[in-house]
Amino acid sequence: MSTDPGSDDSLARDERPSIQISARTESPFSSVSGGARSPIPPRFIDSPEPVPRPPQLADAADANSANAEAHRSREQRWITAMAAVPASQSRKSKKIRRLVLEGVPSSVRSLVWSHLVDSKAKITPGVYDKFGGRAKAAVVTLIEDDARRCFPDHQHLHDSKGPLVTLLTTYLTMFPDIEYQRSLVAIAGHLLLQAPEEDSFWMFVSIMDTHIRTYFSSKAVQMDVDASIFGKVIESTQPQLAKRLFAELGISPIEICRPWFSSVFTTTLPPECVNRVWDVFLCEGPPFLFRIGLALLNLCRPHIESCKDKTSALVILAQPDALSLLPSDPDDLITSALSVKLKDDDVRKQRVKLEAQMKRQTQSLASRSTSSLVSKISLPR
């Protein structure tokens, strides 16, 4: 698994890409449309004195105008920043990180995500068409069924020949070591709601390679590692909550982390929250998953403490929005996550250290198992 390339506080090199980035044409603020003009010059029209607008309408109009101007300004700052900071250096840039925390306009979100994971560097012309449609029928059926569960309101994602099935079957064909899970459908489908099909594919490849591929690799132990670290963080920072979750309700850390981390919270949070979580996650990396998880536990804590059994607690953790536990503004969730007492560098170091330790243990157990099997085999004399 790729780790975060350097510290967040390091400065990007002063390089300039040759490709110019522009806002998407569907931006609601990229142009202003006006009504039809009168063929008679205004000075020749005998019009009455204008009627003043009620104060409430005037205030609302001023607020909308201010919001539109702020959106245009943020949009332009992103376009300028992406042109100035190479994608390969974007996650090291103070400027980019500052813009991410301020917010990403929906009109440039897919461009920003692509820039943060440097997906254009992954593009190999012709590959997507070459590998598409090679999956086994059983896998296609699984993807269709999971797509209906994850995206019931998006019929085009359910089609056996649609973009979601094509994207995932292409990826699974290219990377046979990846084990299929429903979380892959959730991630790929969310990308397809933001960007065109092939752009989504290369973003998917980049996100997997950069951040979460080892959650799905058949020989990886990353999910066990992250669950172990997450459990220890809860025990050290909120011992009473840890006792309630792990001892009294019998929930293991991996039962919390697997649905959250492997889907990057796509199956847990509403779309507007998912977008803001991804904005920051694609910049900050896996430690931010820990922060969001801890923030969600804080929000769910009163209900967890009153739960009577494990099942009801897991339902709350799986869908906190169903109980209106989430803040109405997604940025408030981001603020809560960033205020959690957690050292990201410590999480990164612990992930590397514990992963190596678990791999050694796994190899040792496999070696002992093989030796035991060989010793039981009696060879003919």
Q: What is the average pLDDT score of the chain? A: 84
CA dihedral 110, 113, 117, 120 (to 10 degrees): 20
Residue 218 pLDDT exceeds 90: no
- pLDDT confidence of residue 379: 41
- pLDDT confidence of residue 167: 96
Tally Cβ neighbours within 10 Å of residue 358.
Answer: 16
- Per-residue pLDDT band for 360 (boundaries 50, 70, 90) equals confident
Give the N- to C-terminal CA distance of the chain in Å, as an integer.
48
The one-letter amino acid code at 71 reads H
Average pLDDT score over residue span 120-146: 88
In whole angstroms, give the CA distance from residue 291 to residue 286.
9
- pLDDT confidence of residue 192: 98
- pLDDT confidence of residue 70: 84
Domain ranges of the chain: 127-212, 222-345
pTM, whole model, 2 decimals? 0.79
- Per-residue pLDDT band for 26 (boundaries 50, 70, 90) equals very low
- Per-residue pLDDT band for 56 (boundaries 50, 70, 90) equals low
Residue 1 pLDDT exceeds 50: no
Rounded to 5 degrees, what angle do the CA atoms 269, 291, 175 make? 70
In whole angstroms, give the CA distance from residue 109 to residue 105.
6
For the chain, state the CA radius of gyration.
25
- DSSP category for residue 92: G
Of 13-27, 50-64, 344-358, where does mean pLDDT reach its minimum? 13-27
Q: Pick from 172, 189, 202: which is nearest to 263 by CA?
A: 189
- DSSP category for residue 208: I
* Contact criterion met (CB below 8 Å) for 348 and 3: yes
DSSP string of 319-357, one letter each residue: -GGGGT-S-SSHHHHHHHHHTS---HHHHHHHHHHHHHH
* Contact criterion met (CB below 8 Å) for 150 and 188: no
- DSSP category for residue 37: P
DSSP string of 153-173, one letter each residue: T-GGGT-TTSHHHHHHHHHHH
Quick one: 143 exposed, middle or buried, by C-beta within 10 A (0-12, 13-18, 19+)? buried
- Per-residue pLDDT band for 361 (boundaries 50, 70, 90) equals confident
* Contact criterion met (CB below 8 Å) for 77 and 11: no
Tens of pLDDT, residues 319-340: 999 999 999 999 999 999 999 9
* Contact criterion met (CB below 8 Å) for 112 and 98: no
Helix (H, G, I), strand (E, B) or coil at 139: helix
Domain 222-345 = CATH 1.10.472.80: yes
Residue 212 pLDDT exceeds 70: yes
In whole angstroms, give the CA distance from residue 186 to residue 207.
13
Helix (H, G, I), strand (E, B) or coil at 23: coil
In whole angstroms, give the CA distance from residue 269 to residue 260.
9
In whole angstroms, give the CA distance from residue 241 to residue 10.
36
- Phi then psi for residue 217, to 5 deg, are -70, 140
Domain 127-212 = CATH 3.40.50.720: no
Tens of pLDDT, residues 73-95: 999 999 999 999 999 999 999 99
- pLDDT confidence of residue 20: 38
